Amino acid sequence: MSQGLSISILGGGSAYTPGLVQGFINKSKDVPLDRLVLMDIDGHKLDTVGHVVRHMLETALPKCELRLTTDRDQAIRNTDFIICQIRVGGLQSRHIDESIPIKHRVVGQETTGPGGLAMALRTIPVMVEIAAEIQEKNPRAWLINYTNPTGLVAEAIMKTSDIRHISICDEPMVLQESLGAFLRVPPERLFFDYFGLSHLAWARRVFLQGVDILPQLKDTVEHTPLEKIESLFGEEVLKDPKVRTELRNTLRIFRETGMLPSPYLQYYWFTDEILEQQIRSGRTRAQEVMQLEQVILDECRKAAAGKRPFEALRGGKRHADMMVGMLGAIADDTREVFIVNTTNRGALPELPYDKIVEVPAVVDARGAHPLAMGTMPVQVRGLIQAVAAYEELAVEAALAGSYGLALDALSCHPLVPSRKLAKSILDDYMAAHGESLAYLK
């Protein structure tokens, strides 16, 4: 790379931002950073996180210019890469997304099922607007999107814009790093035969030096106490009951299928169990994250005041490594393989050619080039195709502003048992979210 990059982060006041900046610091030799713009509509959070980021840069990258702004125009113009990690409506809207389905005895989750539709309907119009601004003001820039629901956002941008963009999720990298830790090998030595949709994907085979290690791993897992497996992930990670439950359910699915699933498969395989847990809890995951975010922002304030060093409690190594690695692969044209959300182009022939899928892809200066993953196992093909149909309808609903298409989308989602129930949930969302969904007619 001949010179340092100019990078902006939309949603720069996020608790993930310091961890992401640490990733740039760690990889500064490969991905040099000359200018960083943090943009957020919440000026208070932006200032809090910005103080910490400024200290980090002054210590590690003193020549890097930092700018804080609430003006999206300043974050779009004159940048090489625009990283987007926004949450339209904030965590309070996420709470609505998750609580309404639970009231109707349907799983409440931010990106899966009804909650994912509500999030998409709020988020897609904003992301389409951002893409249009990038195309008008800075068409040479790359948009690296981390905003959920990632696959649906990518599909909407692909249908409405010609900008250069890649959408990513760190779930595949979490799976890769976790498996590397279990096997005691560097995760980059593992190649995943990985297929599906964002938050609905599987590793069918995992190759180490050309040998599929999943059959041996399955045998090992079946004869290894769960406590020993959990110990590999560290006490700090597993103190979150949600993460511990995800790990245990992922292992249950792996033992039955011999394939490693995305943790989100638990909502489809253990629907009744999870719903009962959510009802008993009396709290949504959004409420738990609100509390966690306050803890992190308090840590940021203390760090900004010099009372203690900052520790990246969210947005740490995995999130940062994938984001920064992706930028480097594009900027340096290194043709590295990442698992990304990209246009299918026949990578999964049982899904539409222009569908956004999550598969390994070669990433270079021209973007992501998906690798052919072939046909999907029949045991999981139907579920993936059903959710793919839901996603297509959801994107169409958001782009057309159509209540009818939104109802069609929710009615065909595997987690929603009837059209009557789908209508009740959608109407409750319309009432609760008010202006943000008023465009649906």
The residue among 319, 334, 310, 311 whose CA lies nearest residue 23 is: 319
Q: Which residues in the chain are classed under CATH 3.40.50.720?
A: 5-171+296-329
What is the reported pLDDT for 304? Answer: 67
CB 370 within 8 A of CB 335: no
Residues recognised as catalytic: 264
Helical H runs in 307-418?
317-332, 378-400, 403-411
Judge residue 337's burial from the number of C-beta atoms within 10 Å of its C-beta, 0-12 exposed, 13-18 middle, 19 or more buried: middle
CB 112 within 8 A of CB 151: no
What is the reported pLDDT for 434? Answer: 97
| Lookup result for tokens 């502003």 | 401
CATH architecture of 5-171+296-329: 3-Layer(aba) Sandwich (3.40)
What is the reported pLDDT for 282? Answer: 93
Q: 181 CB contacts (<8 Å, ≥6 apart)? A: 187, 232, 233
CB 86 within 8 A of CB 10: yes
CB 53 within 8 A of CB 66: yes
What are the structure tokens assigned to 110, written together? 């931010």
The residue among 196, 59, 86 whose CA lies nearest residue 147 is: 86
Q: 58 CB contacts (<8 Å, ≥6 apart)? A: none
What is the reported pLDDT for 315? Answer: 47
What are the structure tokens assigned to 413, written together? 């989602």
β-sheet bridge partners, residue 33 = 5
CB 182 within 8 A of CB 231: no
> How do the pLDDT tens digits run along the chain, 441 residues long?
557 999 999 999 998 898 899 999 999 999 999 999 999 999 999 999 999 999 899 999 999 999 999 999 999 999 999 999 999 999 999 999 999 999 999 999 999 999 999 999 999 999 999 999 999 999 999 999 999 999 999 999 999 999 999 999 988 988 888 888 888 898 889 999 999 999 999 999 999 999 999 999 999 888 888 777 776 665 655 667 787 888 889 999 999 999 999 999 999 999 999 999 999 999 999 999 999 888 888 887 777 676 666 555 444 556 687 889 889 999 999 999 999 999 999 999 999 999 999 999 999 999 999 999 999 999 999 999 999 999 999 999 999 999 999 999 999 999 999 999 999 999 999 999 999 999 999
The residue among 145, 158, 149, 154 whose CA lies nearest residue 113 is: 149
The reply to whether omega before 125 is within 30° of 0 (cis) is no
CB 310 within 8 A of CB 52: yes
Q: What is the DSSP track for 81-123?
A: EEEE---TTHHHHHHHHHHHHHHTTS---SSSTHHHHHHHHHH
